[in-house]
Structure 1
Protein backbone atom coordinates (compact mmCIF):
# COMPACT_ATOMS: atom_id res chain seq x y z
CA UNK A 1 0.00 0.00 0.00
CA UNK A 2 2.90 2.39 0.69
CA UNK A 3 4.15 2.06 -2.87
CA UNK A 4 0.76 3.10 -4.23
CA UNK A 5 0.37 6.06 -1.89
CA UNK A 6 -0.02 9.36 -3.73
CA UNK A 7 2.64 12.01 -3.28
CA UNK A 8 1.64 14.27 -0.40
CA UNK A 9 0.77 17.91 -0.81
CA UNK A 10 3.01 20.73 0.36
CA UNK A 11 0.73 21.95 3.20
CA UNK A 12 0.92 19.68 6.23
CA UNK A 13 -1.50 19.89 9.15
CA UNK A 14 -0.24 18.40 12.42
CA UNK A 15 -2.30 17.61 15.48
CA UNK A 16 -2.31 15.43 18.56
CA UNK A 17 -5.18 13.93 20.48
CA UNK A 18 -5.15 11.97 23.69
CA UNK A 19 -6.17 8.33 23.86
CA UNK A 20 -6.47 6.16 26.93
CA UNK A 21 -4.68 2.82 26.89
CA UNK A 22 -5.40 0.70 29.97
CA UNK A 23 -6.31 3.83 31.89
CA UNK A 24 -3.08 5.68 31.04
CA UNK A 25 -3.22 8.77 28.87
CA UNK A 26 -1.18 8.63 25.65
CA UNK A 27 -1.05 10.99 22.68
CA UNK A 28 -1.79 10.12 19.09
CA UNK A 29 0.16 12.48 16.82
CA UNK A 30 -1.15 12.75 13.26
CA UNK A 31 -0.02 14.56 10.11
CA UNK A 32 -2.43 15.27 7.25
CA UNK A 33 -1.83 17.06 3.94
CA UNK A 34 -4.12 19.71 2.46
CA UNK A 35 -6.19 17.06 0.66
CA UNK A 36 -6.95 15.17 3.88
CA UNK A 37 -4.56 12.29 3.18
CA UNK A 38 -3.07 11.01 6.43
CA UNK A 39 0.70 11.09 6.12
CA UNK A 40 1.72 9.40 9.36
CA UNK A 41 0.66 8.62 12.92
CA UNK A 42 2.64 8.09 16.10
CA UNK A 43 1.53 6.99 19.58
CA UNK A 44 3.60 8.47 22.44
CA UNK A 45 3.20 8.88 26.16
CA UNK A 46 4.37 12.52 26.19
CA UNK A 47 3.39 15.80 24.56
CA UNK A 48 6.60 17.81 24.87
CA UNK A 49 9.28 19.12 22.50
CA UNK A 50 11.16 15.81 22.50
CA UNK A 51 7.99 13.97 21.45
CA UNK A 52 7.29 16.55 18.73
CA UNK A 53 10.87 16.22 17.40
CA UNK A 54 10.48 12.45 17.29
CA UNK A 55 7.25 12.82 15.33
CA UNK A 56 8.84 15.26 12.84
CA UNK A 57 11.79 12.90 12.31
CA UNK A 58 9.54 9.91 11.77
CA UNK A 59 7.35 11.87 9.40
CA UNK A 60 10.22 13.19 7.29
CA UNK A 61 12.03 9.84 7.25
CA UNK A 62 8.96 7.95 6.09
CA UNK A 63 7.97 10.40 3.35
CA UNK A 64 11.27 11.83 2.10
CA UNK A 65 9.45 15.09 1.28
CA UNK A 66 9.64 18.45 2.97
CA UNK A 67 6.50 20.58 3.17
CA UNK A 68 6.28 24.22 2.17
CA UNK A 69 3.90 25.13 5.02
CA UNK A 70 3.25 23.42 8.35
CA UNK A 71 -0.03 24.22 10.11
CA UNK A 72 -0.41 23.34 13.79
CA UNK A 73 -2.45 24.30 16.78
CA UNK A 74 -0.86 26.58 19.36
CA UNK A 75 1.11 23.89 21.21
CA UNK A 76 4.59 25.36 21.85
CA UNK A 77 6.29 21.99 21.31
CA UNK A 78 5.60 22.14 17.58
CA UNK A 79 7.36 25.48 17.17
CA UNK A 80 10.42 24.36 19.13
CA UNK A 81 10.72 21.07 17.23
CA UNK A 82 10.14 22.72 13.85
CA UNK A 83 12.88 25.30 14.52
CA UNK A 84 15.37 22.49 15.14
CA UNK A 85 14.35 20.01 12.43
CA UNK A 86 12.98 22.05 9.50
CA UNK A 87 13.77 25.72 10.19
CA UNK A 88 13.25 26.95 6.60
CA UNK A 89 9.59 25.80 6.43
CA UNK A 90 6.82 28.34 7.05
CA UNK A 91 4.89 27.63 10.26
CA UNK A 92 1.32 28.76 10.80
CA UNK A 93 -0.22 28.39 14.25
CA UNK A 94 -3.94 28.74 14.63
CA UNK A 95 -6.63 26.66 16.20
CA UNK A 96 -8.94 27.43 13.27
CA UNK A 97 -6.56 26.63 10.40
CA UNK A 98 -5.97 23.14 11.74
CA UNK A 99 -9.51 21.77 11.32
CA UNK A 100 -8.37 19.34 8.61
CA UNK A 101 -6.13 17.53 11.11
CA UNK A 102 -8.73 17.74 13.87
CA UNK A 103 -11.39 16.09 11.72
CA UNK A 104 -9.01 13.35 10.54
CA UNK A 105 -9.12 11.85 14.05
CA UNK A 106 -12.78 10.89 13.61
CA UNK A 107 -12.29 7.53 11.82
CA UNK A 108 -9.73 6.55 14.45
CA UNK A 109 -12.12 7.39 17.27
CA UNK A 110 -14.91 5.39 15.64
CA UNK A 111 -12.64 2.39 15.14
CA UNK A 112 -11.31 2.69 18.69
CA UNK A 113 -14.86 2.52 20.08
CA UNK A 114 -15.67 -0.53 17.97
CA UNK A 115 -12.54 -2.28 19.18
CA UNK A 116 -13.37 -1.48 22.83
CA UNK A 117 -10.19 0.63 23.17
CA UNK A 118 -6.57 -0.23 22.52
CA UNK A 119 -4.73 -2.70 24.76
CA UNK A 120 -1.17 -1.35 24.52
CA UNK A 121 0.70 1.54 22.86
CA UNK A 122 2.46 -0.90 20.54
CA UNK A 123 -0.82 -2.49 19.46
CA UNK A 124 -2.34 0.96 18.88
CA UNK A 125 0.64 2.07 16.78
CA UNK A 126 0.61 -1.10 14.67
CA UNK A 127 -3.12 -1.00 14.13
CA UNK A 128 -3.29 2.69 13.27
CA UNK A 129 -0.33 2.47 10.88
CA UNK A 130 -2.11 -0.34 9.01
CA UNK A 131 -5.61 1.12 9.33
CA UNK A 132 -4.68 4.47 7.78
CA UNK A 133 -3.91 3.41 4.17
CA UNK A 134 -6.68 0.84 4.09
CA UNK A 135 -9.28 3.31 5.35
CA UNK A 136 -8.21 5.98 2.88
CA UNK A 137 -8.32 3.57 -0.03
CA UNK A 138 -11.68 2.03 0.88
CA UNK A 139 -13.48 5.24 1.96
CA UNK A 140 -13.02 7.84 -0.78
CA UNK A 141 -14.50 11.25 -0.21
CA UNK A 142 -17.75 10.71 -2.07
CA UNK A 143 -18.94 14.30 -1.93
CA UNK A 144 -16.00 15.46 -4.08
CA UNK A 145 -16.60 13.20 -7.08
CA UNK A 146 -19.25 12.19 -9.55
CA UNK A 147 -20.99 8.81 -9.44
CA UNK A 148 -18.89 7.49 -12.35
CA UNK A 149 -15.65 8.61 -10.68
CA UNK A 150 -16.76 7.04 -7.42
CA UNK A 151 -17.52 3.68 -9.08
CA UNK A 152 -14.18 3.74 -10.90
CA UNK A 153 -12.41 4.60 -7.66
CA UNK A 154 -14.11 1.76 -5.78
CA UNK A 155 -13.33 -0.73 -8.57
CA UNK A 156 -9.70 0.33 -8.54
CA UNK A 157 -9.57 0.06 -4.74
CA UNK A 158 -10.87 -3.51 -4.84
CA UNK A 159 -8.34 -4.43 -7.53
CA UNK A 160 -5.50 -3.01 -5.44
CA UNK A 161 -6.79 -4.85 -2.38
CA UNK A 162 -6.84 -8.14 -4.31
CA UNK A 163 -3.29 -7.58 -5.56
CA UNK A 164 -1.94 -6.60 -2.16
CA UNK A 165 -3.57 -9.48 -0.30
CA UNK A 166 -2.72 -11.96 -3.05
CA UNK A 167 -6.29 -13.02 -3.55
CA UNK A 168 -6.69 -14.71 -6.90
CA UNK A 169 -9.85 -15.89 -8.54
CA UNK A 170 -10.30 -19.61 -8.82
CA UNK A 171 -10.23 -20.48 -12.51
Structure 2
Protein backbone atom coordinates (compact mmCIF):
# COMPACT_ATOMS: atom_id res chain seq x y z
CA UNK A 1 0.00 0.00 0.00
CA UNK A 2 1.41 3.40 -0.97
CA UNK A 3 0.72 5.82 1.87
CA UNK A 4 1.32 9.54 1.21
CA UNK A 5 3.96 11.08 3.43
CA UNK A 6 4.90 14.70 4.07
CA UNK A 7 8.31 13.63 5.39
CA UNK A 8 11.18 11.68 3.81
CA UNK A 9 10.89 7.95 4.37
CA UNK A 10 13.32 6.23 6.67
CA UNK A 11 15.84 4.17 4.74
CA UNK A 12 15.05 0.47 4.93
CA UNK A 13 11.49 0.92 6.23
CA UNK A 14 8.40 0.09 4.22
CA UNK A 15 6.03 2.57 5.86
CA UNK A 16 6.41 6.34 6.30
CA UNK A 17 7.80 7.68 9.53
CA UNK A 18 4.37 9.13 10.41
CA UNK A 19 2.97 5.58 10.57
CA UNK A 20 5.83 4.37 12.76
CA UNK A 21 5.53 7.40 15.05
CA UNK A 22 1.76 6.86 15.32
CA UNK A 23 2.30 3.24 16.39
CA UNK A 24 4.79 4.32 19.06
CA UNK A 25 2.45 7.06 20.23
CA UNK A 26 -0.70 4.97 20.67
CA UNK A 27 1.28 2.17 22.33
CA UNK A 28 2.67 4.47 25.01
CA UNK A 29 -0.12 7.03 25.25
CA UNK A 30 -2.87 4.48 25.90
CA UNK A 31 -2.83 1.16 27.76
CA UNK A 32 -2.54 -0.90 24.56
CA UNK A 33 -0.73 -4.08 23.66
CA UNK A 34 1.11 -4.61 20.38
CA UNK A 35 -1.91 -6.68 19.26
CA UNK A 36 -4.18 -3.69 19.89
CA UNK A 37 -1.89 -1.42 17.89
CA UNK A 38 -1.79 -4.02 15.09
CA UNK A 39 -5.60 -3.88 14.86
CA UNK A 40 -5.68 -0.07 14.87
CA UNK A 41 -3.19 0.07 12.03
CA UNK A 42 -5.00 -2.68 10.09
CA UNK A 43 -8.23 -0.66 10.23
CA UNK A 44 -6.29 2.13 8.53
CA UNK A 45 -4.92 -0.16 5.84
CA UNK A 46 -1.48 -0.66 7.38
CA UNK A 47 -0.76 -4.38 7.61
CA UNK A 48 2.13 -5.14 9.96
CA UNK A 49 2.77 -7.85 12.53
CA UNK A 50 2.93 -7.45 16.29
CA UNK A 51 6.64 -8.26 16.10
CA UNK A 52 7.21 -5.34 13.72
CA UNK A 53 5.34 -3.02 16.06
CA UNK A 54 7.43 -4.27 18.98
CA UNK A 55 10.60 -3.48 17.03
CA UNK A 56 9.29 0.00 16.18
CA UNK A 57 8.45 0.68 19.82
CA UNK A 58 11.82 -0.54 21.09
CA UNK A 59 13.84 1.28 18.46
CA UNK A 60 12.06 4.60 18.20
CA UNK A 61 10.58 4.88 21.70
CA UNK A 62 14.09 5.70 22.91
CA UNK A 63 14.33 8.47 20.30
CA UNK A 64 11.22 10.24 21.58
CA UNK A 65 12.22 9.66 25.20
CA UNK A 66 15.55 11.39 24.53
CA UNK A 67 14.00 14.36 22.68
CA UNK A 68 11.46 15.25 25.36
CA UNK A 69 13.80 15.99 28.31
CA UNK A 70 16.19 17.73 25.94
CA UNK A 71 13.64 20.41 25.08
CA UNK A 72 11.59 20.77 28.24
CA UNK A 73 12.21 23.63 30.73
CA UNK A 74 14.49 23.07 33.68
CA UNK A 75 12.57 21.02 36.26
CA UNK A 76 11.47 22.29 39.63
CA UNK A 77 14.23 22.08 42.27
CA UNK A 78 11.99 20.28 44.75
CA UNK A 79 12.27 16.52 44.13
CA UNK A 80 10.25 13.55 45.27
CA UNK A 81 12.06 10.18 45.35
CA UNK A 82 10.42 6.82 45.90
CA UNK A 83 10.91 3.16 45.12
CA UNK A 84 8.37 0.46 44.35
CA UNK A 85 8.80 -3.28 44.01
CA UNK A 86 8.25 -4.99 40.65
CA UNK A 87 8.57 -8.69 39.86
CA UNK A 88 10.68 -9.87 36.93
CA UNK A 89 10.79 -13.61 36.23
CA UNK A 90 9.71 -14.34 39.76
CA UNK A 91 12.44 -12.20 41.33
CA UNK A 92 11.94 -8.98 43.25
CA UNK A 93 13.36 -5.82 41.67
CA UNK A 94 13.03 -2.19 42.72
CA UNK A 95 11.89 0.62 40.48
CA UNK A 96 13.42 3.89 41.68
CA UNK A 97 11.56 6.97 40.43
CA UNK A 98 12.05 10.70 40.89
CA UNK A 99 9.58 13.47 40.09
CA UNK A 100 9.70 17.21 40.63
CA UNK A 101 7.15 19.24 42.55
CA UNK A 102 5.00 19.55 39.41
CA UNK A 103 4.72 15.77 39.12
CA UNK A 104 6.95 15.58 36.03
CA UNK A 105 9.10 12.45 36.00
CA UNK A 106 12.82 13.22 36.17
CA UNK A 107 14.25 9.71 35.86
CA UNK A 108 13.63 6.05 36.62
CA UNK A 109 16.05 3.22 37.33
CA UNK A 110 15.36 -0.49 37.79
CA UNK A 111 17.70 -2.13 40.32
CA UNK A 112 17.89 -5.43 42.17
CA UNK A 113 18.61 -3.84 45.56
CA UNK A 114 17.02 -1.32 47.90
CA UNK A 115 20.06 -0.25 49.87
CA UNK A 116 22.50 2.66 50.23
CA UNK A 117 24.52 1.65 47.16
CA UNK A 118 21.39 1.58 44.99
CA UNK A 119 20.17 4.88 46.45
CA UNK A 120 23.53 6.53 45.74
CA UNK A 121 23.60 5.23 42.17
CA UNK A 122 20.13 6.63 41.47
CA UNK A 123 20.60 9.97 43.21
CA UNK A 124 23.95 10.53 41.50
CA UNK A 125 22.26 10.09 38.09
CA UNK A 126 19.80 12.81 39.04
CA UNK A 127 22.43 15.27 40.24
CA UNK A 128 24.52 14.75 37.10
CA UNK A 129 21.48 15.45 34.89
CA UNK A 130 19.81 18.30 36.78
CA UNK A 131 22.25 19.68 39.34
CA UNK A 132 21.68 19.81 43.08
CA UNK A 133 18.07 20.17 44.28
CA UNK A 134 16.83 22.61 46.87
CA UNK A 135 14.53 20.11 48.61
CA UNK A 136 14.45 16.31 48.49
CA UNK A 137 11.43 14.44 49.83
CA UNK A 138 11.71 10.70 50.41
CA UNK A 139 10.04 8.01 52.44
CA UNK A 140 11.75 6.91 55.66
CA UNK A 141 14.23 4.61 53.91
CA UNK A 142 17.53 5.37 55.69
CA UNK A 143 19.56 4.44 52.60
CA UNK A 144 18.85 7.92 51.21
CA UNK A 145 20.50 9.81 54.06
CA UNK A 146 24.19 9.46 53.20
CA UNK A 147 23.91 9.86 49.38
CA UNK A 148 21.84 13.04 49.72
CA UNK A 149 24.08 14.57 52.40
CA UNK A 150 27.18 13.76 50.31
CA UNK A 151 26.00 14.66 46.79
CA UNK A 152 23.67 17.57 47.70
CA UNK A 153 24.88 18.87 51.07
CA UNK A 154 22.83 22.09 50.81
CA UNK A 155 19.56 20.30 50.09
CA UNK A 156 16.78 20.14 52.65
CA UNK A 157 16.09 16.42 53.02
CA UNK A 158 12.60 15.67 54.33
CA UNK A 159 11.95 12.01 55.10
CA UNK A 160 8.22 11.58 55.54
CA UNK A 161 5.95 9.04 53.85
CA UNK A 162 2.93 11.36 53.97
CA UNK A 163 4.70 14.09 51.99
CA UNK A 164 5.39 11.81 49.04
CA UNK A 165 1.86 11.15 47.84
CA UNK A 166 2.43 13.02 44.55
CA UNK A 167 4.82 10.39 43.22
CA UNK A 168 2.30 7.61 43.83
CA UNK A 169 0.40 8.76 40.71
CA UNK A 170 3.42 7.86 38.57
CA UNK A 171 3.59 4.43 40.16
CA UNK A 172 -0.04 3.74 39.18
CA UNK A 173 0.79 3.94 35.46
CA UNK A 174 3.58 1.40 36.00
CA UNK A 175 1.23 -1.00 37.74
CA UNK A 176 -1.31 -0.64 34.94
CA UNK A 177 1.22 -1.55 32.25
CA UNK A 178 2.72 -4.30 34.39
CA UNK A 179 -0.67 -6.01 34.50
CA UNK A 180 -1.06 -5.63 30.73
CA UNK A 181 2.33 -7.20 30.09
CA UNK A 182 1.67 -10.04 32.53
CA UNK A 183 4.71 -8.71 34.41
CA UNK A 184 7.92 -7.57 32.82
CA UNK A 185 10.01 -10.27 31.17
CA UNK A 186 13.47 -8.86 31.86
CA UNK A 187 15.34 -6.04 33.56
CA UNK A 188 16.19 -4.50 30.17
CA UNK A 189 12.60 -4.61 28.98
CA UNK A 190 11.37 -2.89 32.14
CA UNK A 191 14.06 -0.19 32.02
CA UNK A 192 13.64 0.45 28.28
CA UNK A 193 9.87 0.55 28.37
CA UNK A 194 9.41 2.62 31.52
CA UNK A 195 12.08 5.17 30.53
CA UNK A 196 10.19 5.87 27.30
CA UNK A 197 6.70 5.50 28.76
CA UNK A 198 7.19 8.07 31.51
CA UNK A 199 8.69 10.67 29.20
CA UNK A 200 6.14 10.27 26.40
CA UNK A 201 3.22 10.50 28.78
CA UNK A 202 4.77 13.62 30.27
CA UNK A 203 3.88 15.80 27.26
CA UNK A 204 0.47 14.19 26.70
CA UNK A 205 -0.78 14.40 30.28
CA UNK A 206 -1.42 18.05 31.13
CA UNK A 207 -3.15 18.55 34.47
CA UNK A 208 -6.64 18.62 33.02
CA UNK A 209 -8.32 19.41 36.31
CA UNK A 210 -6.38 22.70 36.37
CA UNK A 211 -7.32 23.72 32.82
CA UNK A 212 -10.40 24.97 31.06
CA UNK A 213 -11.64 22.92 28.12
CA UNK A 214 -10.18 25.45 25.68
CA UNK A 215 -6.79 25.47 27.43
CA UNK A 216 -6.70 21.69 27.45
CA UNK A 217 -7.37 21.55 23.69
CA UNK A 218 -4.57 24.03 23.09
CA UNK A 219 -2.22 21.94 25.26
CA UNK A 220 -3.14 18.85 23.25
CA UNK A 221 -2.50 20.63 19.95
CA UNK A 222 0.88 21.81 21.25
CA UNK A 223 1.79 18.27 22.33
CA UNK A 224 0.87 16.82 18.94
CA UNK A 225 2.89 19.54 17.22
CA UNK A 226 5.92 18.67 19.36
CA UNK A 227 5.42 14.99 18.50
CA UNK A 228 5.39 15.85 14.77
CA UNK A 229 8.65 17.74 15.20
CA UNK A 230 10.27 14.77 16.89
CA UNK A 231 8.90 12.50 14.16
CA UNK A 232 10.73 14.62 11.58
CA UNK A 233 13.96 14.08 13.53
CA UNK A 234 13.72 10.28 13.43
CA UNK A 235 16.70 8.56 11.82
CA UNK A 236 17.08 5.00 10.53
User: Same fold by TM-score, threshold 0.5 exceeded?
Assistant: yes
Q: How does 1:62-81 map to 2 (within 5 A)?
A: 62-63=129-130, 65-81=131-147
Counterpart position of 1:93: 159
Q: Tell me by how many angstroms 1:2 deviates.
A: 2.1
Deviations 1:114-138 (A, max 9, x none): 2222111111111111111111111
Q: How does 1:36-47 map to 2 (within 5 A)?
A: 36-47=103-114
SS of the equivalent of 2:163 reads coil
**1:83 corresponds to 2:119:** no
* Range with greater deviation from structure 2 (40-49 or 101-110): 101-110
User: In structure 1, what is the Cα distance between the partners aligned to 2:116 and 2:72?
Assistant: 29
Counterpart position of 1:133: 199
Q: Tell me by how many angstroms 1:109 deviates.
A: 1.1
CA RMSD of aligned residues (A): 1.3
Unaligned runs of 5+ in 1: none
TM-score (norm 1): 0.92
Unaligned runs of 5+ in 2: 1-67
User: In structure 2, what is the Cα distance between the partners aligned to 1:111 and 1:6?
Assistant: 28
Q: How many residues align?
A: 166
Q: Which has the larger share of helix?
A: 2
Computing the radius of gyration over CA atoms, which structure comes out larger, 1 or 2?
Answer: 2
TM-score (norm 2): 0.68
Q: Which has the larger share of strand?
A: 1
**1:29 corresponds to 2:93:** no
Candidates 91, 113, 117, aligned match of 1:50: 117
Counterpart position of 1:111: 177
SS of the equivalent of 1:9 reads coil
**1:123 corresponds to 2:227:** no
User: In structure 2, what is the Cα distance between the partners aligned to 1:97 and 1:106?
Assistant: 17
User: In structure 1, what is the Cα distance between the partners aligned to 2:73 and 2:94?
Assistant: 26
Candidates 135, 155, 162, aligned match of 2:221: 155
